Amino acid sequence: EAKKAGRARSIIFNATLKTAAINTKRLADEILAGLENDEFFAFYQPQITARSHQLAGVEALVRWNHPEHGILSPAAFITTAETIGAIARIDSAVLKHASRQHQIWRENNVNVPRIAVNLSAQRLSDETLIKAIQEHKFEPGVLSFEFVESISFDEPDAKIDEIAEQIRAMGIDIEIDDFGTGYASITSLLSLSPKRLKVDRQLVQPVTTDPRQRRLVGSIVEIGRSLGIEIIAEGVETIEQVEILERLGCDIFQGYLFSKPMPGDQLAQFAQEKPWLRLFQDQLH
């Protein structure tokens, strides 16, 4: 009986695996076609400064305008894109859109001081990265790159240091993304000389309910401070979180409280109407 059940399970398992393999193959083909057809673009999520309540900048987040499924989030395709070696082309598409979008904002007198673009950490050891950056026009000081902490930051690597140095020399800031989760490599705060550190929302959100979490974030802020690194709190969803994070010394907020990621033209309206000012005003009463 048990053997029979086992066999049945393994048939089901194999069938599932086979479907998964077919789906991955199809997804891979669709990603490559999507790159050819220019289906990858970016949404923009605003970042607000803690002290002066101004627009600090935006984060560009990739979206896929899929011919059948509509607009897809990175969770649906980033892993596969990395596996098939297509991530560099996706990142380039985002850079291109961000550069064009910033130009459009400028032409319309919309002041967006900074655009942060996500890059896979593996690109830090990729010699073609610098050439890819040079293909897109950004005024100096506007662009920054977010890298997720990874194992590779841990190992002293002359090539990574060299590419990071070249990036900084081009006037592009380096930021550490999702700090405090994944492969926490605190040494990256020294080796990459980041301008900013983004505290992951898993650490940010519990600050209202858990005093230990609060102290943890407070300590991260202190480490950042002592190294001259600005702190961005990500995943901010409530005004209570803002109040505590402000007290802890965070410099910049990003999250659904202010806005979800949105198309470039909507961001323009957001930047001009400044709806976040109302949030801070209500906070005072």
23 binds, among ligand C2E, Mg ion, none (CB under 5 to 8 A by kind): none
Nearer to ligand C2E, 8 or 38 (CB): 38
- Kindly identify the residues of this chain, within the stretch 223-242, that bind ligand C2E according to CB under 6 A: 235-237
Tell me the HSE value of 18 on the side-chain side, using a 13 A CA sphere: 6
CA angle 33, 117, 191 (to 5 degrees): 120
- Kindly identify the residues of this chain, within the stretch 132-161, that bind ligand C2E according to CB under 6 A: 146, 148
Please pick, from the candidates 30, 146, 149, 230, the single residue that binds Mg ion as defined by CB under 5 A.
146
Q: What is each CA distance from 188 to 40, 87, 128, 199, 218, in whole angstroms?
A: 30, 22, 22, 14, 19
- Helical spans, DSSP H, in the chain: 2-36, 78-83, 87-107, 129-134, 151-154, 158-169, 188-191, 201-204, 211-226, 239-248, 264-273, 276-284
Binding of ligand C2E by 74 (CB under 6 A) = yes
- Kindly identify the residues of this chain, within the stretch 180-219, that bind ligand C2E according to CB under 6 A: 201
CA angle 195, 159, 91 (to 5 degrees): 60
Please pick, from the candidates 48, 94, 115, 160, the single residue that binds ligand C2E as defined by CB under 6 A.
94
Please pick, from the candidates 91, 149, 177, 251, the single residue that binds Mg ion as defined by CB under 5 A.
177
CA dist., res. 154 & res. 14, Å (int):
38
CB 47 within 8 A of CB 57: yes
Binding of ligand C2E by 120 (CB under 6 A) = yes
Nearer to ligand C2E, 123 or 168 (CB): 123
CA dist., res. 163 & res. 271, Å (int):
33
Interface characters, 31-50, with ligand C2E (x: CB under 6 A): --------------x-----
Tell me the HSE value of 237 on the side-chain side, using a 13 A CA sphere: 10
Binding of Mg ion by 230 (CB under 5 A) = no
Please pick, from the candidates 14, 19, 37, 73, the single residue that binds ligand C2E as defined by CB under 6 A.
73
Contact footprint for ligand C2E (CB under 6 A): 45, 61-62, 73-75, 78, 87, 90-91, 94, 118-120, 146, 148, 177-178, 201, 235-237, 255-256, 261
- Which residues contact Mg ion (rule: CB under 5 A)? 118, 146, 177-178, 234
